[in-house]
Amino acid sequence: MAEFAKTGPSKPVVEAIRVDKVTPGYRLVNNVRALIVILLAVVGLIPVFVMIMTAFKTRPDAISVPPKLIFTPSLEGLVFLLTERSAASPARLEQLRQAAEGEQLSLFDRIALNTGQEITGPSDYVFRLRNSLIIAGLSTIASVVLAVFSAYAFSRYNVKGKGDLLFFILSTRMLPAVVVTVPLFLMYTQLKLHDTHLGMIILYTVFNLSLAVWLMKGFFDEIPREYEEAALVDGYTRMQAFFKIVLPQAVTGIAATTVFCLIFAWNEYAFALMLTSEKARTAPPSIATMLGIGGIEWTAIAAGSLGFLIPVVIVTFALRNYLLRGVTFGAVRK
């Protein structure tokens, strides 16, 4: 350490940094810290890796002990996930094998055949994933659009009882979902909203609105009023100024809000479990119920979870720059 003060660092320092941050001691501590963070991240990601691997294993590989790290990838899990199958009789099996040799069977049929089964139709999962897409997508759009307008009003106008209203909006988020599911269930059955897409969209929109309004208000507060005022004296109406000037600058906030709303609506489990049964059931509760039916299909569950993960990962990844700014907003100087 004393040596360092005389000789300086062994390598030239190219980044702008304080002197005390290039001493060997500090560097060492920093490296250890980084290592710990990486280790924690790896530990945290192990379940995800296991899930991805399991999704591409065959059934014997998936349940083998010790778990196989190296295996031949297979689409068995995917086939199990997406189809209904039944065990075929020996005669039928022989018939199918011949068809397979003659290249008359599709990929899915052949994979099913390897496990001694025959595909009888698509599984529920496909419909449920579609339900998830419809419900999460529409409720996200609805909550973001509503939030943009109300947050703008809260940010710019002297709304009567503004503080109370904002608190009331936030308070809808304070109750845990389990507490309100029972009354909601009763209301929904009365209103015939139980197990409907509309019912779920309304519910998720209401739940997301509190977060979305507060988030968007923060973003609008950050946009200086001068921009709108400039547009007003330049000959535009309030509405035109909003669409031409304010909205383009709020894109970051809108993107961040969209991701947060989408993640909530997509992942929501408790309401979906209680308030849907057949028609409008979304993916999260259906993956969980797969555990129950006729032995545990680990490969199918893993494939289902993976398929469920992908849309959110894509959206989040596409909007990641906005998201970072959204999470740190207020802390970053304009």
Partner 1 sequence: MAKIELQKVEKKFGELHAVKPMDLTINDGEFVVLLGPSGCGKTTTLRMISGLETVTGGKILLDGRDVTWLHPSERDIAFVFQFYALYPHISARDNIAFPLRAQGESRHAVEQRVKEVSALLRIEHLLDQRPGKLSGGDQQRIALARALVRKPAAFLMDEPLGALDADLRETMRAEIKRLHIDQHATTVYVTHDQIEAMAMGDRIVVMSEALVQQIGPPAEVYYDPANLFVAKFIGSPGMNLVSAVYQDGVARIPGTENRCRVPAEWQPAVQSALQGEPEIILGFRPEAAHLEPSGELSGEVYATELQGAYAVLHVNVNTSEIVHIRTDRLIDYAIGETVRFSIDPKMVRFFNPKTELAISRQRSS
Options 137-145, 149-157, 224-232, 285-293: segment touching partner 1 (CB under 8 A): 224-232
Q: Could you say whether residue 52 binds partner 1 (CB under 8 A)?
A: no
Contacts of 189 (CB under 8 A, 6+ apart): none
User: Contacting partner 1 (CB under 8 A), which of 127, 227, 269, 329?
Assistant: 227
> Among candidates 242, 254, 284, which has minimal Cα distance to 140?
254
For the segment 234-253, give every residue that binds partner 1 (CB under 8 A): 234-237, 240, 245, 248-249
Q: Smallest distance from the beta carbon of 229 to partner 1, in angstroms?
A: 5
Contacts to partner 1 from residues 249-278, by CB under 8 A: 249
Binding residues for partner 1, total number by CB under 8 A: 16
Q: Does 332 bind partner 1 (CB under 8 A)?
A: no
d(CA 93, CA 274): 41
Determine which residue in the list 65, 69, 233, 293 makes contact with partner 1, applying CB under 8 A: 233
For residue 122, give the 3-state DSSP assignment: strand
- Interface with partner 1 (CB under 8 A), residue from 230, 296, 310, 327: 230
Residue 118 and residue 78 in contact, taking contact as beta carbons nearer than 8 Å: no
Is 329 a binding residue for partner 1 by CB under 8 A? The answer is no
229 vs 233: CA distance, rounded Å? 6
d(CA 3, CA 77): 61
Rounded Cα distance between 22 and 307, Å, is 46
| Helical (H) or strand (E) element with 83 | strand 83-87
CB under 8 A: which stretch of 105-113, 121-129, 204-212, 231-239 binds partner 1?
Answer: 231-239
Residues within the interface to partner 1 (CB under 8 A): 224, 226-227, 229-237, 240, 245, 248-249
